[in-house]
Chain A
């Protein structure tokens, strides 16, 4: 327990929260609607986060703070505990979140300058950041769930910031409901955990997995409780991180202001799902992990293909985000803890840069988002173009840029996993996506910044953006270049005594199929070390890993080593060929024509193009599946009603008619003559006589009521006695 880190952690959470509360009430009275206040607050906590980051890096322990306190007493004997956890993963996430958030705040000063709800916008950003920081700092699933929902709420508010636009408010609702769908699964997972374990602290959950508390069969599809709970929780992560088939909300979320898109896509909303998956990696059972890997792989490939043909600059980036998130999830699914989270970090940098860059472009082009209206913009805004291209190269995995290192690690882990266990689809998805990513990003850059302007009027008015908008681009662009250098991420996740964080996690009972086979306790990242030791001929007996390592470890470590080497070579080739292919198709030469004509290709493969252009018709499918089926059921009910129920009713009616005829005769004589008219006359007479009592005076009624009660009770007393 480190008091300094604890204090800083509390500050990191409370300062933006307090600023949010202050701004929510007073932003009308603060000069400039408080943008400086929000930006300064986030700047302060950025400094605090960096302090924690450095502190954690210098420390020998992984866990800096695990502060547990009694939070909610349930019933007589149950206590739900709350708490703060700061370890290396938290430290990294804190820096990523606060850094991107700070730059987004800064960028928004320029981008949102004349917005009608400027103060409200900053309140939303603050709430968003606060919830994400709370989510990251939580040491239990209850807190995580609370902040998880708060992230959902604030994303709803921000996506629907321009709620006068029907499409924006629709997109906000869609994002909210789709992620909520995933959260139902997550809630079920939480319930299973609490029911079986009695606590939702991460530490307790990992201990429960180790002690086999969750290993009994659930009776559902032959899964044990651990798998079911893991699937449920991962379902929540699928919703938040926009994994197939719950990805539909993310592209629509582009309706929000562009800096918000940057925040959602890089640091907060979608990162939450990946963070959760990484955080709970030791909790997932092997079956769950395979499921996770496949979902990730499918998402990566599927979204990349859609991104190939989109025209809206932000839509391309949105599908690229979905695709990259699929990468991370896939990496985590195959046990690549370090690679998945490394990619999360680097992706946050370059994707934030891309989004802010696209924001600058959109701003310069007077809110024109269609790439078919762009072209040749590098002359007008050279700095934006430069940093945009740097971030693009990072996303493509160009050697030397940050994305290259993390993507390479993921591909290596995936390849090693396949070499050891099969599941060839994952490799195909991984490498295929790498190629497609390079291609569509090159296409985007070519269409936006190069060639001749396609909308001369807007081009004339385009201009370089101001310093508030350029500074974030410079910082993020630089980080996308250097963010992967020197393997700092692996080193950071390694403890001084040589035990990596993943090994520490593994010591808590972590058992991915990959790990179980490869090292009994150390997956890919850890094996780099073993592989290095292997190569150097140093006996790994001196390493702690060696205890877990059996004789076969050397061979498997060798396979992993080979896999990583192959992956590196292959990914460079694919990235370069993707970029080259993109240039061939979209780089305009002097003649104004590219070497290959994309339109011809689109025409040649028309069905594929239509399929991709319409995003595999997912929206239409959901519409058909949910909206139309409801209509269908309604129509069916209506018909059933008309044919069957009405038939029965008619028959009953007819029967009644016959009976009625018979009864009618009896009726007229006995009932009408004697009973009805007689009683009606009697009632009329009584009513007339009693109407004096209906005065409308409450007190009289009350008096009469009491007299009645007295009379009744007198009768009862006499009778009972």
Chain B
């Protein structure tokens, strides 16, 4: 029996959970960024899986919605990474570190 929808969704869920854990656990801001990338990839896998196994037109013009959304998501990820890194650099200039635990001005 060929691998179906569930297997892909499961892997995506694992990836998502790992990404979230990375976001929460990492002290380095770049680690948080890595977690976000994992989450985005999980989302794209979901899009692709539902496109492949969800029925409907897949072929030709108008049918290639899955890859199209994938492309747009990758593009969003690129934007996000660029801005996030700019913010990190700015933080680094201002605080001398990008450890998120050390960057807080609201602590009482």
**Any B CB within 8 A of the CB of A683:** no
A385 to chain B, nearest CB (A): 65
**Any B CB within 8 A of the CB of A457:** no
For B, the interface residue count at a CB cutoff of 8 angstroms equals 15
Q: How many A-B residue pairs lie within 8 Å, measured between CB atoms?
A: 30
**Any A CB within 8 A of the CB of B25:** yes
B15 to chain A, nearest CB (A): 15
Residues facing B in A669-721 (CB within 8 A) are 691, 694-699, 702-703, 706
- Do A695 and B20 touch across chains, with their CB atoms under 8 A apart? no
Q: B20's closest neighbor in chain A, by CB? A: A706
- Do A699 and B108 touch across chains, with their CB atoms under 8 A apart? no
The winner among A691, A694, A696 for most chain B CB atoms within 10 A is A696
**Any A CB within 8 A of the CB of B24:** yes
**Any A CB within 8 A of the CB of B105:** yes
Q: Which of A696, A699, A702, A703 contacts B105 (CB 8 A)?
A: A696
B42 to chain A, nearest CB (A): 15
A703 / chain B contacts, CB cutoff of 8 Å: 24
Chain A contact surface mostly: helix
- Do B108 and A702 touch across chains, with their CB atoms under 8 A apart? no
B25 / chain A contacts, CB cutoff of 8 Å: 699
A694 / chain B contacts, CB cutoff of 8 Å: 106, 108
B32 / chain A contacts, CB cutoff of 8 Å: 698
**Any A CB within 8 A of the CB of B107:** yes
- Do A702 and B104 touch across chains, with their CB atoms under 8 A apart? no
- Do B100 and A698 touch across chains, with their CB atoms under 8 A apart? yes
- Do B24 and A695 touch across chains, with their CB atoms under 8 A apart? no
Q: B104's closest neighbor in chain A, by CB? A: A696
- Roughly how many angstroms separate A694 CA and B104 CA in the complex, as a whole number? 10
Contacts A706-B20, A706-B24; A699 near B106 (Cβ below 8 A): no
A441 to chain B, nearest CB (A): 63
For A, the interface residue count at a CB cutoff of 8 angstroms equals 10
What 1/0 flags go to A256-297 for Cβ under 8 Å of B? 000000000000000000000000000000000000000000
Q: Which of B24, B26, B107 contacts A696 (CB 8 A)?
A: B107
What 1/0 flags go to B80-108 for Cβ under 8 Å of A? 00000000000000000000110111111
B101 / chain A contacts, CB cutoff of 8 Å: 697, 699
B100 / chain A contacts, CB cutoff of 8 Å: 697-699
A427 to chain B, nearest CB (A): 63
**Any A CB within 8 A of the CB of B44:** no
What 1/0 flags go to B11-22 for Cβ under 8 Å of A? 000000000100
Q: A707's closest neighbor in chain B, by CB? A: B24
- Roughly how many angstroms separate A321 CA and B87 CA in the complex, as a whole number? 58
The winner among B23, B24, B103 for most chain A CB atoms within 10 A is B24
- Roughly how many angstroms separate A691 CA and B108 CA in the complex, as a whole number? 9
B23 / chain A contacts, CB cutoff of 8 Å: 699, 702
- Do A702 and B107 touch across chains, with their CB atoms under 8 A apart? no
- Roughly how many angstroms separate A699 CA and B100 CA in the complex, as a whole number? 8
Q: B23's closest neighbor in chain A, by CB? A: A702
B106 / chain A contacts, CB cutoff of 8 Å: 694-696
- Roughly how many angstroms separate A691 CA and B106 CA in the complex, as a whole number? 11
A706 / chain B contacts, CB cutoff of 8 Å: 20, 24
A18 to chain B, nearest CB (A): 34
- Roughly how many angstroms separate A694 CA and B105 CA in the complex, as a whole number? 11
Q: A694's closest neighbor in chain B, by CB? A: B106
- Roughly how many angstroms separate A696 CA and B100 CA in the complex, as a whole number? 9
A697 / chain B contacts, CB cutoff of 8 Å: 100-101, 104, 107
Q: A706's closest neighbor in chain B, by CB? A: B20
- Roughly how many angstroms separate A265 CA and B53 CA in the complex, as a whole number? 69
The winner among B25, B100, B105 for most chain A CB atoms within 10 A is B100
- Roughly how many angstroms separate A699 CA and B31 CA in the complex, as a whole number? 11
B26 / chain A contacts, CB cutoff of 8 Å: 699
A699 / chain B contacts, CB cutoff of 8 Å: 23-27, 100-101
- Roughly how many angstroms separate A703 CA and B103 CA in the complex, as a whole number? 17
B20 / chain A contacts, CB cutoff of 8 Å: 706
Q: A701's closest neighbor in chain B, by CB? A: B24
- Roughly how many angstroms separate A464 CA and B51 CA in the complex, as a whole number? 82
- Roughly how many angstroms separate A702 CA and B32 CA in the complex, as a whole number? 11
B31 to chain A, nearest CB (A): 10
B108 / chain A contacts, CB cutoff of 8 Å: 691, 694
B58 to chain A, nearest CB (A): 20
- Do A695 and B107 touch across chains, with their CB atoms under 8 A apart? yes
- Roughly how many angstroms separate A702 CA and B36 CA in the complex, as a whole number? 12
A691 / chain B contacts, CB cutoff of 8 Å: 108
B107 / chain A contacts, CB cutoff of 8 Å: 695-697
Residues facing B in A542-563 (CB within 8 A) are none
B103 / chain A contacts, CB cutoff of 8 Å: 698
- Roughly how many angstroms separate A317 CA and B72 CA in the complex, as a whole number? 59
Q: B100's closest neighbor in chain A, by CB? A: A698
B105 to chain A, nearest CB (A): 6
- Roughly how many angstroms separate A391 CA and B101 CA in the complex, as a whole number? 82
- Roughly how many angstroms separate A441 CA and B64 CA in the complex, as a whole number? 72
Q: B25's closest neighbor in chain A, by CB? A: A699
- Roughly how many angstroms separate A695 CA and B100 CA in the complex, as a whole number? 12
Q: A76's closest neighbor in chain B, by CB? A: B61
Q: B108's closest neighbor in chain A, by CB? A: A691
Q: A709's closest neighbor in chain B, by CB? A: B20
Residues facing B in A477-499 (CB within 8 A) are none
A/B interface sample: 13 pairs, CB < 8 A: A691-B108, A695-B106, A696-B107, A697-B104, A698-B103, A698-B104, A699-B24, A699-B26, A699-B27, A699-B100, A699-B101, A702-B23, A702-B24
Closest 4 CB pairs of A and B: A696-B104, A696-B106, A696-B107, A698-B100
- Excluding A696-B106, A702-B23, 19 further A-B contacts by CB distance (< 8 Å) are A691-B108, A694-B106, A694-B108, A695-B104, A695-B107, A696-B105, A697-B100, A697-B101, A697-B107, A698-B32, A698-B100, A698-B104, A699-B23, A699-B24, A699-B26, A699-B27, A699-B100, A702-B24, A703-B24
Residues of B at the A interface (CB closer than 8 Å) are: 20, 23-27, 32, 100-101, 103-108
